[in-house]
A and B are shown apart, each in its own frame.
Chain A
């Protein structure tokens, strides 16, 4: 079955450590996104990529970094510069280059806890 996989489902880190969240899709989608979800705040866009080797900052990119070396993969690194990294992180993809036209397909999410 085609879909988006995120690993691991739960991740625990000590404050001051960088951590990388994995996102892989086999849907042959062009665009991929990372969202952060906090209780009562909906989803906030961190980064998105419309094509390989290109990505744009979203609304809350500070303290995060991404890469898009392959169409199928869009890993997110949460750096020590992120002030409040504990959250639920969701990866998504869409068929076309435009967010505005197509529905988004979501992965199951990674819950990151930093202590």
Chain B
């Protein structure tokens, strides 16, 4: 069975500082990986996804993530955060080999401090 771990439930960071949100997954098969963002009382929006190819993936709003197969990680990074980045971030994984479900991590709440 697949699972997703987001090691930090809350991450406070000062405006214009860099940030890394950590995501680790477990799976016995090849996977697709996603990061979603959720602003308060809204649905989720896709930030970026890894399907295949280059392990460094660039997304919207200046975010990027790197797929590390040996460490089963897919950490999200941004070199300089803005107040508007304050939101909940979810890492998700799905199984390439079957019509299985997408598994979401518990989420990381990013708070940008002015």
Contacts and interface: CB of A to CB of B under 8 A. Distances in A.
Tell me the dominant secondary structure on chain A's binding face: loop
The number of chain B residues touching the other chain, given as a range, is: 20 to 34
For B41, B102, B104, B107, the residue with the greatest tally of chain A CB atoms inside 10 Å of its CB is: B102
Contacts of A107: 43
Interface stretch (B11-19, B65-73, B93-101): B93-101
Contact of B101 (A42, A99, A111): A99
Nearest to A91: B43
B46 interface: yes
For B4, B99, B107, the residue with the greatest tally of chain A CB atoms inside 10 Å of its CB is: B99
A42 B90 contact: yes
A40 interface: yes
A17 interface: no
A108 interface: yes
B1 to A, nearest CB: 11
B84 interface: no
Contacts of B100: 99-100
Contact of B43 (A4, A50, A100): A4
A97 interface: yes
A42 B77 CA distance: 20
A97 B99 CA distance: 8
A74 interface: no
A44 B98 CA distance: 19
A106 B106 contact: no
A105 B36 CA distance: 10
Contacts of A59: 101
Contacts of A92: 43-44
Which 7 A-B pairs have CB atoms at the shortest separation, nearest pair first? A106-B43, A42-B104, A43-B104, A106-B44, A42-B106, A100-B94, A103-B46
Interface of B: 4, 9, 32, 34, 36, 41-46, 49, 51, 90, 94-102, 104-107
